[in-house]
């Protein structure tokens, strides 16, 4: 074991897969010599050369389109979108091409690509560096959407994403890159896609969250335990599509009270899908309304920090929502 932050764990996972499989490569804006804007790919060009840590033009449709072409010619490319906000030029390539290759070819063609994209609000990020884009992709059969929060999970899930025979969108919350640290196994291991993780067990309420909000929710859960004796069960989906409904429903039925927290806009969000599943399939076990907490329906987080702080659910807002539900 060695203590790593999220950024280091992801970079380590990339390097390990590239060492054991010559078909694995990375491509994207500044991923080569510069090591990526967040330095996730630092050192890969020096170790593997420019052909396997490949800088590309500033054209997301080209990055994903080239990755698709590489994948059907024997490669396992990892395409980096510098910020998730920039992913829209590649939307057609991801949704209409990569996600449908296997289906439209009746299983004859696979498309083993991984698309990494840093998402989430960050101070000073404003309109084009702070968006949560997961809902755009979570109704696309043929595409998996992973969003791990903790380093060991991220490394293991990235390995599985690269090995997956079909496309995986791998979301990384940029504010957690250096914030979250934990021991990460040094030996080879993988973490399955499509399996949720119960971070904290409790009997009073269930909170489902991911990204930075998961980290905040865990802090609030500890506070409520110490100050109010309320025991919150905290569940992280880890994979947003397909969802691990079994683990989520098991927790909802156990506690009878359910809250989903994310920093995405509420309308049309992943949290709405999770809430709908629980409302339909755990209704008879519930002792209160299914609650959601998220960002207001405005286009993006503002540049000014006070406005951004209003956009992202705060620790105080999460605590208030947990207390409201616990006392219902």
Could you give the residue numbers annotated as active site? 129
Asked if residue 31 lies in contact with residue 53, where contact means CB atoms within 8 angstroms, the answer is yes
Asked if residue 37 lies in contact with residue 199, where contact means CB atoms within 8 angstroms, the answer is no
Asked if residue 60 lies in contact with residue 90, where contact means CB atoms within 8 angstroms, the answer is yes
Angle of CA points 2, 214, 323, to nearest 5°: 135
Q: By C-alpha distance, which of 288, 279, 275 is closest to 328?
A: 288
CA dihedral over 144, 238, 195, 287, signed as positive or negative:
negative
Beta strands 197-200; 232-236: pairing state: antiparallel
Q: Coil, strand or helix: which one is 150?
A: coil
Listing DSSP states for 20-40 in one string gives H-TTEEEEETT-STT--TTST
**Residue 32 half-sphere exposure, CB side, CA atoms within 13 Å?**
15
At 66, list the tokens. 């080239």
Spatial distance between the Cα atoms of 121 and 125, rounded to a whole number of angstroms: 7
User: How many residues belong to the chain?
Assistant: 328
Q: Coil, strand or helix: which one is 214?
A: helix
Asked if residue 113 lies in contact with residue 79, where contact means CB atoms within 8 angstroms, the answer is yes
Spatial distance between the Cα atoms of 326 and 328, rounded to a whole number of angstroms: 6
Spatial distance between the Cα atoms of 55 and 65, rounded to a whole number of angstroms: 14
């Amino acid at each position: 074991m060695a203590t790593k932050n999220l950024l280091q764990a992801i970079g380590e996972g990339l390097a390990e897969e590239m060492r054991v499989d010559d078909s694995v490569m990375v491509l994207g804006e500044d991923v080569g010599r510069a090591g990526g804007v967040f330095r996730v790919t630092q050192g890969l060009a020096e170790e593997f050369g420019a052909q396997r840590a490949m800088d590309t033009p500033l054209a997301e449709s080209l990055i994903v389109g080239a990755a698709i072409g590489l994948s059907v010619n024997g490669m396992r490319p990892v395409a980096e979108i510098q910020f998730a906000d920039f992913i829209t030029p590649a939307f057609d390539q991801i949704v209409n091409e990569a996600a449908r290759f296997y289906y439209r070819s009746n299983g004859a063609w696979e498309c083993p690509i991984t698309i990494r994209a840093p998402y989430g609000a960050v101070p000073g990020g404003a309109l084009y560096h702070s968006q949560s884009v997961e809902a755009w992709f979570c109704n696309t059969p043929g595409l998996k959407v992973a969003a791990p929060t903790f380093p060991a999970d991220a490394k293991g899930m990235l390995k599985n994403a690269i090995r997956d025979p079909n496309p995986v969108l791998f979301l990384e919350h940029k504010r957690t890159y250096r914030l979250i640290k934990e021991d990460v196994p040094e030996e080879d291991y993988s973490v399955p896609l499509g399996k949720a993780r119960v971070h904290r067990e409790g009997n009073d309420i269930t909170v489902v969250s991911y990204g930075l909000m998961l980290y905040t929710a865990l802090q609030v859960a500890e506070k409520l335990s110490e100050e109010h004796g309320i025991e919150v069960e905290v569940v992280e989906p880890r994979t947003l599509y397909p969802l691990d409904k079994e683990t989520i429903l098991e927790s909802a039925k156990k506690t009878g009270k359910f809250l989903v927290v994310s920093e995405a806009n509420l309308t049309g969000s992943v949290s709405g899908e999770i809430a709908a599943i629980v409302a339909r399939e755990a209704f008879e076990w519930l002792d209160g309304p299914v609650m959601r907490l998220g960002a207001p329906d405005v286009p993006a987080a503002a540049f000014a920090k006070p406005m951004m702080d209003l956009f992202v659910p705060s620790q105080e807002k999460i605590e208030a929502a947990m207390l409201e539900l616990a006392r219902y």
